């Protein structure tokens, strides 16, 4: 059984890690932020810590595995809430924020389990991706000749801009 200092360390680390991921999203004007991802990470760490309290130290049981599976399944609903499709089938926004919600849940799980080298390594790699990923992606597209976004179709006269070809204008 973990003592108070270990509980505070695990839950505090999860909250700070999730909050830091959320701060990145918040500073970029994304639809999910510090409070939301801090709570995601804290809540997952809480349930994993609870599940681990019921077993021998250092052991994962079927019960712990089921808790983790349930958390990761459920977090998909939160992630789905930040994904938005705009205009046509080619412009989807919020996927990175949804991935951050899933990542915050995973970090919470690992904090709850107390595996600090994994937490630190995962956070470092996540922030590298979040900070340099878009620039690297653009550079690689230029170097490798990646596919450009498809051109936007013009709306026909009398047709609203968000009506598709199958929908009559007006």
User: For residue 166, what are the contacts with CB-CB under 8 A and spacing of at least 6?
Assistant: none
The tens digit of pLDDT for each residue in 38-95 reads 888 888 888 788 777 766 666 667 777 888 888 878 777 777 777 776 776 666 678 7
Q: Tokens for 4? A: 């108070």
pLDDT reported for residue 94: 80
Residue 70: predicted pLDDT = 84
Q: Which of 5-19, 51-65, 150-164 has the lowest mean pLDDT?
A: 150-164
Q: What residues does each domain of the chain span?
A: 4-144
Is 120's pLDDT higher than 60? yes
pLDDT for the residue numbered 92: 67
pTM for the whole thing?
A: 0.62
* Of 127 and 167, the one with more pLDDT: 127
Percentage of the chain beyond pLDDT 90 is 5
Is residue 103 scored above 70 in pLDDT? yes
Most confident of 11-20, 28-37, 85-94: 11-20
- Assign 123 a pLDDT band (cuts: 50, 70, 90): very high
φ/ψ of residue 5, rounded to 5: -65, -40
Distance of CA 140 to the CA centre of its chain: 24
State how beta strands 84-85 and 92-93 pair. Answer: antiparallel
What is the reported pLDDT for 58?
Answer: 60
Could you write out the DSSP letters of every residue in the chain?
A: ---HHHHHHHHHHHHHHHHHHHHHHHHTT-SS-HHHHHHHHHHHHHHHHHHHHTS-TT---HHHHHHHHHHHHHHHHHHHTT-EE-SSTT-EE-HHHHHHHHHHHHHHHHHHHT-HHHHHHHHHHHHHHHHHHHHHHHHHHHHHTPPPPPPPPPPPTTS-TT--TTS---
């Amino acid at each position: 059984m973990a003592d108070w200092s270990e509980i505070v360390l695990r839950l505090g680390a999860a909250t700070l890690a999730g909050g830091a991921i959320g701060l990145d999203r918040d500073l970029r004007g994304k639809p999910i932020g510090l409070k939301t991802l801090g709570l995601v990470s804290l809540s997952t760490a809480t349930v994993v810590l609870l599940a681990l309290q019921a077993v021998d130290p250092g052991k994962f049981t079927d019960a712990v595995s089921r808790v983790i599976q349930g958390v990761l399944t459920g977090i998909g609903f939160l992630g789905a809430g930040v994904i938005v499709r705009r205009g046509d089938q080619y412009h989807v926004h919020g996927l990175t924020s949804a991935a951050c919600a899933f990542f915050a849940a995973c970090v919470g799980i690992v904090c709850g389990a107390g595996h600090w080298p994994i937490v630190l390594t995962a956070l470092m790699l996540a922030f590298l991706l979040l900070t340099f990923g878009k620039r690297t992606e653009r550079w690689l597209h230029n170097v490798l000749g990646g596919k450009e976004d498809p051109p936007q179709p013009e709306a026909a006269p009398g047709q609203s801009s968000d009506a598709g070809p199958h929908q009559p204008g007006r």
